[in-house]
């Protein structure tokens, strides 16, 4: 089946630094990728939707300049948390949808970001 | 807008007990409905789905029926196992050209004790 690899699984960074999270579709072409943020004991909140080769569409309340999303190829999307602060600590999950399919979402295993 | 209301947890059951996790939704159109499962430290995995009214999704002994009249998609399993311990998310997606995003419920943490 479809596999999405998300890396790193855990990262600890200092406040003020930037962190990049990668999301790769291993055996299919992902025309659309989604980035979610999950707070403890809460649901997933969609942050942004990215289509290959175009700018990401951010959800209301998500800072575009803080959460930079790049979807430069059909198999790779990156989320960069810029100038991270402790309140950015969270579990980030990507999801990819194969081109030509409806509702064929495959999720990555998530990245636990801790900002100290 | 679209929303999903899910039974609050946590839910603790004994092995072989019957499971029901309630899920109701609000949507403007005719959404597809999903149940996802998240094991500790992992991302979400699709458990089952239903794309139209009266459809029944099933997988690994779990079932859920798309009930349009009650706007519900309750998850059931006849006999749970310890390995079913996880967080379960109900979700919906309305086809919006070029943006079929998922709306999730808050999740229900299930713990099965031997």
Best mutation target, B43, B89, B91, to test chain A (most A CBs within 10 A): B43
Question: Residue A69: which pLDDT band, with cuts at 50, 70 and 90?
Answer: very high
Place of tokens 């855990």: A10
In degrees and rounded to multiples of 5, residue A78 shows phi and psi of -125, 145
Considering only alpha carbons, which residue of chain A is nearest residue B106? A43
Q: Would you say residue A52 has pLDDT above 50?
A: yes
In this complex, the residue of A43, A108, A110 whose CB is nearest that of residue B104 is: A43
Question: CA-CA distance, B78 to A2, in Å (whole number)?
Answer: 29
Highest mean pLDDT among A14-23, A52-61, A69-78, B6-15: A14-23
Question: Residue B8: which pLDDT band, with cuts at 50, 70 and 90?
Answer: confident
Asked if B111 is an interface residue toward chain A (Cβ–Cβ < 8 A), one would say no
Asked if A86 is an interface residue toward chain B (Cβ–Cβ < 8 A), one would say no
Question: Residue B95: which pLDDT band, with cuts at 50, 70 and 90?
Answer: low
**A contacts of B45 (beta carbons < 8 Å):** 107
Closest CA to A13 of A75, A90, A70, A65: A90
Is there a contact between A97 and B32 if contact means CB atoms under 8 Å apart? no
> Nearest-CA distance from B23 to chain A in Å?
14
CB B18 within 8 A of CB B77: yes
Q: Pick the more confident residue, A52 or A41.
A: A52
Which distant-in-sequence residues (6+ apart) come within 8 Å of B108 by Cβ? Answer: B6, B7, B8, B9, B10, B11, B21, B87, B88, B89
Which distant-in-sequence residues (6+ apart) come within 8 Å of B81 by Cβ? Answer: B15, B16, B112
Is there a contact between A97 and B102 if contact means CB atoms under 8 Å apart? no
**B contacts of A102 (beta carbons < 8 Å):** 32, 95, 100
pLDDT tens profile B52-83:
899 999 999 999 999 999 999 999 999 999 99
Considering only alpha carbons, which residue of chain B is nearest residue A6? B43
Question: CA-CA distance, A33 to A49, in Å (whole number)?
Answer: 6
In this complex, the residue of B95, B100, B105 whose CB is nearest that of residue A43 is: B105
Q: Pick the more confident residue, B103 or A18.
A: A18
> Nearest-CA distance from A108 to chain B in Å?
6
């Amino acid at each position: 089946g479809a596999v999405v690899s998300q890396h790193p699984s855990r990262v600890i960074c200092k406040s003020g630094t930037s962190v990049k999270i990668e999301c790769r579709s291993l055996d299919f072409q992902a025309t659309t990728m989604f980035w979610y943020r999950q707070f403890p004991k809460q649901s997933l909140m969609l942050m942004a939707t990215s289509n290959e080769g175009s700018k990401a569409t951010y959800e209301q309340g998500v800072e575009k300049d803080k959460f930079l999303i790049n979807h430069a190829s059909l198999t790779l999307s990156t989320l960069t948390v810029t100038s991270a602060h402790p309140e950015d600590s969270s579990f980030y999950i990507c999801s990819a949808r194969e081109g030509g399919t409806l509702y064929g979402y495959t999720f990555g295993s998530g990245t636990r970001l801790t900002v100290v | 807008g679209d929303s999903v209301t899910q039974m609050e947890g946590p839910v603790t059951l004994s092995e072989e007990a019957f499971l029901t996790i309630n899920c109701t939704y609000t949507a403007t159109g005719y959404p597809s409905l999903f149940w996802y499962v998240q094991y500790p430290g992992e991302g979400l995995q699709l458990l089952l789905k239903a794309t139209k009214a009266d459809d029944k999704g099933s997988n690994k002994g779990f079932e859920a029926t798309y009930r349009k009249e009650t706007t519900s998609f309750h998850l059931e399993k006849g006999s749970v196992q310890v390995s079913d311990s996880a967080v379960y998310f109900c979700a919906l997606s309305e086809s919006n050209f070029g943006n079929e995003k998922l709306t999730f419920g808050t999740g229900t943490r299930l713990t099965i004790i031997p």
